[in-house]
Every structure is written in C-alpha cells, then in structure tokens.
Amino acid sequence: MLDKSKRYLIVGLGLLGGKYALELTRAGYTVDGINRSEGHLQFALDHGYIRSGKTHDFEDLVQSADHIIFALYPTALIEWFKTYGSLLKPGCIFTDVSGVKTGLVEPIQALCPDGVEFIASHPMAGRETSSVEHAAEVNFAPANFIITPTEKNTPEAVQWARELAEVLGFKHICTLTVQEHDKMIGYVSQLCHAIAVSLMCANDNTSLCEYTGDSFRDLTRIARINDKMWAELFLWNKENLIAEIDQFDAALSQMRNALVANDRDKLEEMFRLSTQRRAAFDKKAP
C-alpha cells in the first residue's frame, strides 16, 4: 500500500480534486492543495480536506511534494507544467484526472525533469455538479479507474497509480493505452453527453417537467453540463467523437427508415438486439 510518509499535493480543488484530497486525508496521508479560487481553497481547509494550501506563491508546496494529482483541464495542465514543472523534485511520481489523454500525455512526459515521472489516469466518476463543495457526494466504489501508461512509464509508477486507486476506494481498476482510452471514452462517455445535450437542445418546451416520465429524466440527467470542461474534452477528442456520432447517426437512420417503411420486423429486430446487449452489459457491469 502507499507509503504514508509521502507528501501529496492536489493541484485544482474542484469536484474530483476535492474528493482525492478528502479520501487521502481520511486514509491518513499528508495532503496539501493549490487552487485558483480562494473560496474553494478555504472550504477545503475548513472541512479538513487538506492540511495547508495556497492560491499563489506555492513553489514550496510543489518542491516538497512526493506525489502530485493534477485535477486541471488538459490545456491548463500543460500551461501549468510549462511554468512550474521544473520545480518537481527527483523521485516525484504524479498523475492527472483528465478525460482525454491524446495530446496531453506525450507533451507532459516530454517536459518532465530528470527523475520525475507522469503516469496518466482517469477516474470515471464525474457528476452533474461541480466544485469542491460537492466532492463528498462522489462515490468512487462503483466507478472505473483507468491507468494509461506509455513505454516511458516504469512498473513502479503503474503500481503506484493502482495503489492510489485502491486507497481512493475504486473497486474496478484497469489499464489501457492512450489511444484505446480515448476511443473508448468517445463512445461510452462523450457520445452519451452529446446525445443528452442534443436531446435538450432539440425542443425548447419549458413545461416538460410537468408531464415528463422517467425515460426523459434518465436520458437527460447528464445534460446539466460543465460547458467549459466538456467543450474542451470534445474538441481534444473530436476525431473519435465524430466517428462515434456518425455510427450513432447510422443506427438512428436505420430506425427512421424502418418507421418510414412501416417495417415492424426491422424495429423488433433492433429492439431485440438492444435488449440482448444491455443484458450482457448488466451481467458484466461492476
């Protein structure tokens, strides 16, 4: 298990950064924080998520950290690392929480000082809510934790990331390449958000809440969305997402064509296939 003598630093005390801080502190680790917002930093301090924290002049926290978790958007992480990455001390192993890896992992690894290692990972545990005030509501246990090593990573760093996930409470931990991760995320996460957003944008009926059912409520739960973060994630992974949208569009067109042709057999065939695949999913889901 992780060495409790090591000092942890969380950069970005939002929803996931706050949850990491909370769980690591609960487990007995020394955790400091860096955050742009003074109010959110103070919340983390007041509620005991972190031991200490700063919004500026935080070079000492960076230099003394044995492990760092970056809970920043991809663009912000690259810019931060260009400015402060040289401060990381030899032996430091750090990770991120980003939902997109292509275009992020390679540049950050190239910027690492000698003796410093970046092992990318993705906790798939986001919520519609954001900010550190909602961090305690996040449940890591049923969520997937994905580690995305490259040929530059050591077995020790991969093992550290796995142990970190275990301490945080994740029950399902797996390893994918950067490319495998982004292709998978394009389908199981980003396409789902694209569909939910499109469904809400397709109709401006403000009275929907008065007569809607569970189907609409469940399908659009994730349509309450962090606009800045998801716009960045979509654009960073746009090739994969466009391919998935095209595939979904083809399936929806099949259903439309069956309706136009009054083809009941085709509709029933699609319904049976979806039922079979969902049943298989339910058996394997954690």
Which is nearest to 119 in space by CA: 163, 75, 84, 154?
Answer: 154
pLDDT interval class at 282 (50, 70, 90): confident
- Tokens representing 110? 């190239």
Domain range for residue 85? Answer: 7-176
Strand spans (E) along the chain: 7-11, 30-34, 52-54, 67-70, 93-96, 117-118, 120-124, 144-148, 172-175
Same domain for 21 and 122, yes or no, is yes
CATH code of 79's domain = 3.40.50.720
**Span 199-218, pLDDT tens digits:** 999 888 677 767 677 888 88
Alpha helix ranges (H) inside 133-208:
155-168, 178-185, 191-201
Are 197 and 128 contained in the same domain?
no
Q: Which of 204, 197, 145 is nearest to 170 (CA)?
A: 145
Residues with Cβ within 8 Å of 135's Cβ and at least 6 positions away in sequence, in order, are 14, 15, 16, 17, 18, 19, 21, 22, 49
Do 33 and 41 touch, CB atoms closer than 8 A? yes
Helix (H, G, I), strand (E, B) or coil at 145: strand
Please count the CA atoms within 13 angstroms of the CA of 117 that sit on its side-chain side: 18
Give the pLDDT score at 286. 60
Number of structural domains (the chain) is 2
How does residue 253 score in pLDDT terms, banded at 50, 70 and 90? very high
162 and 28 fall within a common domain? yes
Q: Give the whole-angstrom CA distance, residue 107 versus residue 71.
A: 17
Residue 36 lies in a domain: yes
The residue behind tokens 């609409």 is: 216
DSSP state of 53: E
**Is the same domain home to 45 and 168?**
yes
Dump pLDDT digits (tens) for 87-125: 999 999 999 999 999 999 999 999 999 999 999 999 998
Identity of residue 8: Y
Q: Is residue 74 part of a domain?
A: yes
Q: How far apart are CA 209 and CA 205, in angstroms?
A: 9
Residues 192, 126: Cα–Cα separation, whole Å = 13
Q: Is 94 helix (H, G, I), strand (E, B) or coil?
A: strand
Residue 20, strand partner residues:
none
Instruction: Let me know whether 27 and 101 are in one domain.
Output: yes
Is 1 among the domain residues? no
Per-residue pLDDT of 30-76, as tens digits, reads 999 999 999 999 999 999 999 999 999 999 999 999 999 999 999 99
Backbone angles phi, psi at 94, to 5 degrees: -135, 165
When mean pLDDT is compared across 5-14, 191-200, 204-213, 242-251, the lowest value belongs to 204-213
First to last CA, the chain: 23
Beta strand spans in 86-204 (E): 93-96, 117-118, 120-124, 144-148, 172-175
Give the CATH number, domain containing residue 200. 1.10.3660.10
116 and 92 housed in the same domain: yes
